[in-house]
Every structure is written in structure tokens, then in C-alpha cells.
């Protein structure tokens, strides 16, 4: 037997020999008529033989499967080999002449069997090559997620304990200061009372001395000796005052107030991301309109529910104001998972503050800019370095890595998608500008630079964000708010309500509104770029330059001049 027998592709790993007697060559072909395996030489002889030259000989992988032998129940000596199309039952050749099947159409059962057999093989291959490995990868990711959740929850517990210890320390400090103040008040009051007591004591001594003098006079043997008027004078009782007693006013502390001070665990205000599975590659892909329609209905239903729950309020109300230490101008804000803010100025000072604003948690010196930092769904801080033309990542354990190198392009703005985790980066090179999409691993996915007429879309995209429908909304300095869909097709450009429009900070909310600063106001647009209202003017914020929506759906506006962040409630819950 030859040692070089080839494995047949698409079949289990074994070697087939030619089915002709005394031939030990490799099988390469198959006769679908007589169901015989053939080598190349035997195939040629098979097709030259007058008895078999009309047979259908194909490559072995394309063979028809031989129908398993099954006897007809009506004619036990005959094999079942046909399918009656009208009756949908298998029959033998003798049944074909039966009166019950007269005029019916018959199909070769072997062809059907072969087709079904091949289909089963294809499905088995799909299971082993795609479905099983993909499912096993998903299962591994689920286990990894469980491990990650445990780590995250351990970190949250540690943070909670740290917050509690910090609050206890503050309570102890305030209590100590209050006690010291109480001691001072007590000392002052007692000193005043002691002084009055000393005065009365001296007066009592004076009275006792007079009493003795009067008794001496009455018992004197010389009554002609008289006291002077001065000696006879009784001094008036000294004036004393009753001190005003201090009162302690207990603080009206509620459990809810303490909970706000300590923070809370919550989920980001985004819908849970459905795990995207790489589709099975097919030579002839077909659309699935049912699936598409279902997704559209599902997305529509989610958006509809949000719109039913929330709407624009008839008035804008200030909720709180924070003063940010360590920067000169609130040029950009990024909200992290815990509701804390990363805030930066134009000089590259980047600080993390807590929800109260007065506690600076971290500070980083960067190369600066406008909308140059963002926080991912995983809680990592991402920021651009214009000078070195790189994008840096800081993980939650404070490891800094150069995540993406942008080559000749200068990265000036960045946003992390809450829909799919992609990074959207605004860039410039010479007089050109573009928006580039990267995946979570830093792989470049898309470049958006020109509209369908070949015209450049951007001049200086210094702030960037994403809407709930996947639209990419860019604040293009001195130009417009430029909006493209997730495929990069230009939808609209908003150029403001006045002749001069300098858009700065930009964000979107859960209703799909676009909120943009123009250094004089915060303007509210709908999802299609229609102007709705001036939400904030310089009366509320003297120099608005940056915006974001916090996890309570309040609009936070950063001021360029006085280092403040003011939160406003502009949405309301709908009532039945």
C-alpha cells in the first residue's frame, strides 16, 4: 500500500482507497450511479467502459450519499427508492404502478437523502467550527465578568469604608471643636459669676463691720461720743446680673442626608449592552427582516418608554453649585461611574473631585486642551496628548499607558461611547480635520472626514460626543455643531441663532437632546438639529463653556472665569 495517501478535505481524518478490486491507489472520485469509489485511472476506465460511460462521476467530496437499504412494506422483495410528492410517502418502484399513485410525481429518494446528509454534515461543521468555540468563549467571558464584578464590589466596599472613616473623622473633628467652644463659654460665664461673688462677699464684710460698730456704740460708757455720718452710712447692695444661659440646638440629621454624604452604589444611566457575537460567515449571506424589525421595535419601545417617563420642564431650577480648586476655568468635564467628575482647564490641569466639589481626589498635569478627556464604561480615564500625538489610558489602579499613537494627526478631543465602548477622536493635521473611531483595544475602525460631496466636514473638532441613536455630534470651533450618523454620513450642521456662533462644550441626554455651549449660553437642540430653547444664559452662569449631564439627569455647566460647576434641573417626570 502506498504511504502518500492524501486526506480528503471536508471529511473526517482517514484515508480512502479506490473501490475497484486490486487497486490500492487513493480515492479521488465517486460514481453517483453505482456508488463506487474511484482513483483517477479507474475513473478514466469507468467512463470509457460502454456499460458505465454515461454514469455521473464527480469529485468524492461532491458525491451523492447511497440510500440505506429499506424494504417496502407492501412489496418486501423491493427496496424503497422513490418519494411520492403528492402523498409524501416513500415507495418502491413497484408501488409506482399502483392505482393509488397514478398520475403522481415521483422524486429519487437517493437525491433527497444525499442532500439531507450533506446538510447534516454542514451543520455539524458549523457546530464544531463556530457555535461551540464561540459559546465556550462567551462562557469564559461570563466567568471573567464574574471575577471582575467581585473585584469591583470589593473596591466599592473599600471605598465605602474609607468614606465612612472620613466622615467619622470629620464628625470627631467638628465635635471636638464644639466641645472646645462649650468650654470657652463655660469659663467666660463662670469668671463673670466669680467676679460678682467676690463683690457680694466684700459687701457682706462691710455689713458685718457696721453691725459691730453699732453694737459697740450702744454698749459704750461714753454716750456722748458720736459716730460721724460717714461711719453710720450703709452702702447700697451691689448690682448683679443673671447670665444668659446657652442653648444647644440639635442638628436635624436624617438617614437620607447621611446616605448622600457617604455616596451610593448605582448603575450608569445607560441600557445594558447586549453581548455582540461575531456572526457566522456564510458564502451567501441573507438578510433576516424579522430580526431587523424586532430590533427596530425594541429600540423604539425603549426610547418611547424614556420619553413617556421624562420631558422638558417648563422652568430651569438651580440644584447646587460646586467650586473647583486646582484649575483655572472649567473647560471640560467627564463623569465617571461613581458620579465623580474629572474637570480640566486649558492649561492641562486635570483634577478629580467628589460630588460635594470641595474634596480633590486626584490631580494630573497634562498637555491640556478643551474636550480632551473621557471616562470609559470600565471606569478608565482616557486623555489625549497633543504634543506627543498619543492617547493615554489610566486604569482604576492608576497605571498609565500610551494606548493609541495617532501618527501625524494631532488628537484634540475624545469621547468614549456608552453604546459600544468605541472611542471617537477629533483630530487635526495641517489644515485638515477628521473624526476617527477606535474599538476598545485601540484598533482603528472608521475615519470621517468629508461629506457626500467631497467637502471637508470639520475645521477644528475640539469637543465630541455621541447621541442615543449613535449619531456623532461634534463641536467645531468657530463653525458649527456637525452631526453625522454612525456610518459617517452627514446629517446636519447647526450654526446657531446669531451671526456669530462659537460652539464649545457639547453633550446629549437620555431623550436625545443635544446641549451645546457658545460661551454666552447653553442651547438645547432636538435630535435632528432643531433649536428648542436657550436653557442657560450669562445671568445664571457668567461664562458657560462646558456641559455634561450627571447621573441624576441634571445639566452641569462649567464656568470659564470663576471655577464653578452649577447643576440645573431641566427635565421633569411625567405624571399620569
pLDDT at 11 > cutoff 60: no
Task: Sort 2 into a burial class: Cβ within 10 Å, 0-12 / 13-18 / 19+.
Answer: exposed
Give the integer Cα–Cα distance in Å for 440 and 141.
15
Which tens digit of pLDDT belongs to each residue from 183-216?
A: 999 999 999 999 999 999 999 998 998 888 888 8
Query: Distances from the Cα of 98 to the Cαs of 71, 81, 91, 93, in angstroms?
Result: 17, 15, 10, 10
Residue 297 pLDDT: 35
Per-residue pLDDT tens digits for 488-538: 999 999 999 887 889 999 999 999 999 999 988 999 999 999 999 999 999
Report the pLDDT averaged over residues 400-407.
Answer: 91
List, for residues 261-307, the tens digit of each pLDDT value. Answer: 777 776 655 556 666 677 766 543 333 333 333 333 334 444 555 55
374-378, 479-483, 572-576 — which is least confidently predicted? 572-576
CA 273 from chain centre, in angstroms, equals: 9
Whether residue 478 contacts residue 502, with contact meaning beta carbons closer than 8 Å, is answered with: yes
Domain chopping of the chain, boundaries: 113-265, 331-542
Q: Give the three-class secondary structure for 457.
A: coil
Question: pLDDT tens, 318-327?
Answer: 998 888 888 8
Region for residue 355 given its phi and psi (left: phi exceeds 0; alpha: psi -120 to 50; beta: otherwise) = alpha
Return d(Cα 206, Cα 226) in angstroms, integer: 20
Topology of the domain comprising 331-542? Methylamine Dehydrogenase; Chain H (2.130.10)
pLDDT of the residue at 224 = 55
DSSP letter string, 92-129: -TTGGGSGGGTT--EEEHHHHHHHHHHHHHHHHHHIII
Amino acid at each position: 500500500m502506498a504511504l502518500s495517501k492524501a486526506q480528503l478535505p471536508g471529511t473526517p481524518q482517514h484515508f480512502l482507497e479506490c473501490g475497484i478490486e486490486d487497486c490500492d491507489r487513493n480515492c479521488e472520485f465517486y460514481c453517483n450511479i453505482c456508488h463506487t469509489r474511484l482513483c483517477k485511472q479507474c475513473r478514466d476506465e469507468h467512463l470509457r467502459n460502454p456499460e458505465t460511460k454515461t454514469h455521473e462521476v464527480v469529485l468524492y467530496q461532491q458525491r451523492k450519499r447511497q440510500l440505506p437499504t429499506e424494504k417496502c412494506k407492501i412489496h418486501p422483495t423491493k427496496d424503497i427508492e422513490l418519494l411520492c410528492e403528492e402523498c409524501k410517502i416513500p415507495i418502491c418502484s413497484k408501488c409506482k404502478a399502483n392505482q393509488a399513485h397514478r398520475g403522481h410525481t415521483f422524486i429519487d429518494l437517493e437525491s433527497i437523502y444525499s442532500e439531507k446528509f450533506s446538510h447534516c454534515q454542514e451543520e455539524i461543521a458549523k457546530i464544531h467550527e463556530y457555535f461551540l468555540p464561540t459559546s465556550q468563549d462567551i462562557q469564559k467571558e461570563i466567568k471573567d465578568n464574574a471575577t471582575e464584578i467581585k473585584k469591583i464590589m470589593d473596591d466599592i466596599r473599600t471605598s465605602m469604608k474609607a468614606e465612612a472613616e472620613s466622615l467619622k473623622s470629620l464628625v470627631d473633628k467638628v465635635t471636638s471643636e464644639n466641645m472646645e467652644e462649650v468650654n470657652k463659654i463655660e469659663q467666660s460665664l463662670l469668671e463673670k459669676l466669680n467676679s460678682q461673688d467676690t463683690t457680694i462677699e466684700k459687701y457682706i464684710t462691710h455689713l458685718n463691720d457696721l453691725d459691730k460698730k453699732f453694737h459697740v456704740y450702744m454698749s459704750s460708757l461714753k454716750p456722748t461720743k458720736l459716730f460721724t455720718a460717714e461711719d453710720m452710712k450703709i452702702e447700697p447692695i451691689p448690682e448683679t446680673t443673671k447670665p444668659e444661659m446657652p442653648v444647644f440646638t440639635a442638628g436635624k440629621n436624617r438617614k437620607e442626608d447621611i446616605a448622600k454624604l457617604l455616596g451610593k452604589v448605582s448603575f450608569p444611566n445607560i441600557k445594558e449592552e447586549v453581548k455582540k457575537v461575531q456572526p457566522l460567515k456564510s458564502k451567501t449571506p441573507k438578510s433576516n427582516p424579522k430580526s431587523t424589525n424586532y430590533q427596530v421595535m425594541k429600540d423604539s419601545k425603549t426610547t418611547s418608554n424614556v420619553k413617556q417617563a421624562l420631558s422638558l420642564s417648563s422652568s430651569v431650577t438651580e440644584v447646587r453649585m460646586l467650586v473647583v480648586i486646582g484649575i483655572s476655568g472649567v473647560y471640560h468635564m467627564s463623569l465617571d461611574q461613581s458620579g465623580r467628575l474629572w474637570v480640566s482647564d486649558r492649561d492641562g490641569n486635570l483634577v478629580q473631585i467628589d460630588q460635594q466639589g470641595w474634596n480633590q481626589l486626584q490631580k494630573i498635569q497634562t498637555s491640556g486642551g478643551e474636550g480632551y478627556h473621557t471616562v470609559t464604561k470600565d471606569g478608565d480615564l482616557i486623555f489625549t496628548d497633543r504634543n506627543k500625538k498619543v492617547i493615554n489610558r489610566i486604569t482604576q489602579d492608576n497605571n498609565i499607558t500610551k494606548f493609541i499613537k495617532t501618527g501625524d494627526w494631532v488628537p484634540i478631543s475624545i469621547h468614549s461611547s456608552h453604546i459600544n465602548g468605541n472611542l471617537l477622536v477629533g483630530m487635526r493635521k495641517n489644515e485638515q480635520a477628521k473624526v476617527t473611531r477606535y474599538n476598545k483595544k485601540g484598533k482603528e475602525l472608521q475615519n470621517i472626514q468629508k461629506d457626500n460631496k467631497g467637502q471637508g466636514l470639520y475645521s477644528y473638532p475640539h469637543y465630541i460626543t455621541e447621541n442615543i441613536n449613535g449619531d456623532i455630534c461634534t463641536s467645531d470651533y468657530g463653525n458649527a455643531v456637525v452631526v453625522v450618523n454612525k456610518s459617517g454620513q452627514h446629517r446636519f450642521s447647526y450654526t446657531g441663532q446669531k451671526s456669530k456662533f462659537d460652539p464649545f462644550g457639547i453633550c446629549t441626554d437620555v431623550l436625545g437632546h443635544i446641549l451645546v455651549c457658545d460661551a454666552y449660553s447653553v442651547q438645547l437642540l432636538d435630535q435632528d438639529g432643531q433649536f428648542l430653547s436657550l436653557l442657560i444664559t450669562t445671568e445664571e452662569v457668567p461664562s458657560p463653556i462646558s456641559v455634561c449631564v450627571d447621573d441624576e439627569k441634571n445639566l452641569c455647566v462649567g464656568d470659564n472665569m470663576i471655577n464653578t460647576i452649577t447643576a440645573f434641573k431641566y427635565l421633569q417626570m411625567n405624571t399620569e
